[in-house]
């Protein structure tokens, strides 16, 4: 399985290795240094903005109680529902030199003032940061919610100030979650081609797409891909190393969730205002634009008649991809977190390559590999499914691995010592505990797949246009009012899914079904077991109730 997933990488390596040295030299002198600088600085810029936005918003939402705080909890997730290319076209419209923003700014700053151009480094950072900060926000928020306040209280009791506690206790403890969020955001930025091509900002992925659509041979595209994959490989390796070094389990049974502090009216107004600003920038304004354009299109009777078909195509492709990603990802994630053999690690690392391989190259590689090995798949939806799977499996893996890591291995060992077979222990102990994490992985893949563009553009069978493809075809003709209805539909379909994801991530303490209560028990018991194991005391069997029920 993992080998199949690594085929695209193999294709890129072989294609780049067999490329003429002259091509390499030309690329090195004309393109690579600039692209390297642009890609790295864009990723870094977006990461910094994401970190500031994500952590501060998560802190405000989890630690303060004010009128409206409950709504922001989920409103701040909605930007994930807007595809990057839609956000980019909205901002090219908003920041247009004859646009409303420019007129307003001229009233303030004089007739010669101009708003900054979206076609710049700052523009690309703005759009991609507004698009990706929810990754960091979500993971930081759920980490803050699961946070054991005892840590902070201990620090306060020993004399640390509020700021010192935040920077020296709270932040370091949620570091794995922040890294996971930044990891998703950075890979998203590195593999995005919709927004950067609309904003004319040259990154590797954009350049690869230009090479592929501008040339008949893919040698140069493969070379650029290889450099990108190399950089991403270093990044992925570094992230996993970091994660291995800083693995936290809850170490006490006396877990208490944080209690939000109530705010006065002035503070509440300030916080609401700040949150509203971020929300409008990332979701409200583009959403209103989409609605306006859609109304224009409907009024003019220009909505495509195949609209419902496109919707079903998008839904079915995303549903199948997400399911396949979770099913295929389960053994890989398990191997990577539990069985630390080199083969298991290699499998998991290999699967990550699909995400950093630029979408168009991943698609082309799948096409070539399939035509040699599985010609029967040609012209079917399966080939597209495979490309989406290769491209998005890492998203699922990331979430599933985090979930598995939070279940201490002692739980499974305890189950085994009580006579459960490996499969049994996985099904009855591990699975109930990681179900939320796995569901959120499914949802995340679903959402990403709804927005997926390059593979669908290159591999869809004739007559299988998805919503994203329709948006791209219309938007590349700059017919925004025609692109708006499918874009609005993607947003509308994705919103509940995003909210569901937030529920799945919110953790066991927030829901009250019987099974979740069991899982919460197990979590606390597992933490006990871990602590007990560390001090050499005999471990208790986890969730005794569940085990008593079965013979």
Residues in touch with another protein (CB under 8 A): 26, 30-31, 97-98, 119, 197-198, 200, 202, 210, 212-218, 309, 312-313, 315-320, 322-323, 326-327, 360, 364, 367-368, 371, 375, 378-381, 435, 438-439, 442, 457-464, 473, 476-478
Beta carbon of residue 431, minimum distance to another protein (angstroms, whole number): 9
SS3 263: coil
Q: Give the Cα separation of 52 and 44 in Å (integer).
A: 12
Q: Which is nearer to another protein, 81 or 364 (CB)?
A: 364
Q: Which is nearer to another protein, 38 or 398 (CB)?
A: 38
Alpha carbon of 202 to those of 117, 299, 300, 471, 479: distances in Å? 15, 37, 36, 22, 24
Q: Give the Cα separation of 507 and 524 in Å (integer).
A: 13
Beta carbon of residue 464, minimum distance to another protein (angstroms, whole number): 6
Q: Which is nearer to another protein, 288 or 515 (CB)?
A: 515
Q: How many residues does the chain have?
A: 551
Q: Which is nearer to another protein, 62 or 202 (CB)?
A: 202
> Would you say 164 and 266 are in contact if contact means Cβ atoms under 8 Å apart?
no
Beta carbon of residue 220, minimum distance to another protein (angstroms, whole number): 9
| DSSP secondary structure code for residue 339 in this structure | -
Residue/partner pairs of 30-39 with CB below 8 Å, 24 or more apart: 31/207, 31/224, 32/224, 32/227, 34/202, 35/202, 35/203, 35/204, 35/207, 35/224, 35/227, 36/204, 36/227, 36/231, 38/121, 38/201, 38/202, 38/203, 39/190, 39/203, 39/204, 39/228, 39/231
Q: Give the Cα separation of 303 and 323 in Å (integer).
A: 31
Q: Which is nearer to another protein, 171 or 315 (CB)?
A: 315
Beta carbon of residue 458, minimum distance to another protein (angstroms, whole number): 6
Straight-line distance from the first to the last Cα atom of the chain, in angstroms, rounded to the nearest whole number: 36
Q: Give the Cα separation of 143 and 168 in Å (integer).
A: 16
Q: Which is nearer to another protein, 124 or 182 (CB)?
A: 124
> Would you say 176 and 167 are in contact if contact means Cβ atoms under 8 Å apart?
no
Beta carbon of residue 435, minimum distance to another protein (angstroms, whole number): 6
Beta carbon of residue 339, minimum distance to another protein (angstroms, whole number): 21
Q: Which is nearer to another protein, 63 or 200 (CB)?
A: 200
| DSSP secondary structure code for residue 77 in this structure | T
Q: Give the Cα separation of 409 and 426 in Å (integer).
A: 11
Q: Which is nearer to another protein, 189 or 457 (CB)?
A: 457
Q: Which is nearer to another protein, 61 or 396 (CB)?
A: 396
Q: Which of 355, 353, 337, 354 is nearest to 345 (CA)?
A: 337
Q: Give the Cα separation of 29 and 27 in Å (integer).
A: 6
Beta carbon of residue 401, minimum distance to another protein (angstroms, whole number): 16
Q: Which is nearer to another protein, 87 or 361 (CB)?
A: 361
Beta carbon of residue 180, minimum distance to another protein (angstroms, whole number): 21
Beta carbon of residue 320, minimum distance to another protein (angstroms, whole number): 5
Beta carbon of residue 177, minimum distance to another protein (angstroms, whole number): 23
- Joined tokens for residue 335: 């191997």
């Amino acid at each position: 399985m993992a080998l199949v997933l690594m085929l695209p990488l193999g294709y890129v390596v072989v294609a780049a290795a067999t490329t003429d040295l002259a091509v390499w030299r030309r690329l090195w002198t004309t393109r690579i240094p600039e692209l390297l600088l642009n890609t790295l600085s864009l990723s870094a810029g977006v990461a910094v903005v994401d970190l500031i936005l994500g952590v501060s918003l998560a802190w405000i939402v989890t630690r303060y109680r004010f009128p409206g705080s409950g709504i922001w909890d989920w409103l701040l997730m909605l930007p994930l529902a807007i595809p990057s290319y839609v956000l980019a076209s909205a901002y090219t419209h908003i920041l247009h030199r004859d646009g409303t923003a420019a007129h307003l700014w001229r009233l303030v700053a004089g007739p010669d003032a101009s708003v900054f151009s979206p076609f710049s480094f700052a523009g690309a950072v703005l759009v991609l940061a507004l698009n990706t900060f929810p990754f960091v926000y979500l993971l930081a928020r759920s980490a803050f919610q699961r946070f054991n306040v005892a840590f902070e209280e201990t620090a306060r009791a020993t004399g640390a100030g509020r700021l010192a506690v935040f920077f020296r206790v709270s932040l370091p403890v949620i570091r794995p979650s922040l890294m996971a969020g930044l990891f998703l955001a950075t890979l998203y930025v590195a593999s995005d081609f919709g927004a950067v091509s609309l904003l004319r900002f040259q990154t590797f992925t954009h350049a690869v797409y230009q090479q592929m659509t501008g040339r008949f041979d893919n040698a140069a595209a493969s070379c650029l891909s290889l450099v990108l994959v190399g950089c991403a490989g270093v990044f992925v390796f570094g992230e996993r190393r970091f994660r291995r070094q800083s693995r936290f389990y809850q170490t006490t049974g006396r877990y208490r969730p944080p209690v939000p502090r109530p705010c006065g009216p002035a503070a509440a107004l300030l916080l609401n205002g700040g949150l509203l600003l971020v929300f409008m920038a990332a979701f409200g304004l583009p959403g209103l634009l989409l609605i306006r354009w859609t109304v224009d299109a409907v009024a003019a009777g220009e909505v495509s008649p195949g609209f419902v078909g496109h919707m079903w195509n998008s839904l079915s492709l995303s549903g199948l991809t997400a399911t396949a990603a979770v099913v295929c990802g389960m053994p890989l994630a398990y191997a990577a977190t539990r069985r630390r053999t080199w083969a298991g690690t290699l499998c998991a690392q290999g699967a990550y390559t699909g995400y950093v391989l630029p979408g168009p190259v991943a698609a082309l590689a799948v096409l070539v590999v399939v035509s040699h090995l599985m010609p029967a798949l040609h012209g079917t939806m399966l080939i597209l499914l495979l490309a989406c799977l290769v491209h998005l499996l890492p998203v699922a893996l990331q979430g599933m691995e985090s979930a598995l890591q939070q279940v201490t291995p002692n739980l499974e060992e305890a189950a085994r010592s009580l006579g459960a077979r490996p499969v049994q222990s996985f099904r009855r102990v591990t699975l109930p505990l990681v179900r939320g994490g796995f569901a959120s992985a499914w949802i995340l893949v679903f959402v990403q797949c709804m927005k997926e563009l390059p593979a669908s553009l290159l591999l869809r069978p004739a007559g299988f246009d998805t919503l994203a493809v329709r948006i791209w075809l219309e938007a590349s003709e700059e017919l925004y009012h025609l692109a708006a209805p499918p874009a609005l539909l993607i947003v509308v379909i994705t919103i509940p899914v995003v909210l569901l994801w937030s529920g799945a991530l919110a953790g066991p303490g927030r829901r009250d079904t019987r099974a979740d209560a069991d899982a919460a028990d197990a979590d606390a018991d597992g933490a006990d077991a871990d602590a007990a194991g560390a001090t050499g005391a005999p471990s208790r069997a986890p969730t005794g109730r569940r085990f008593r029920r079965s013979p």
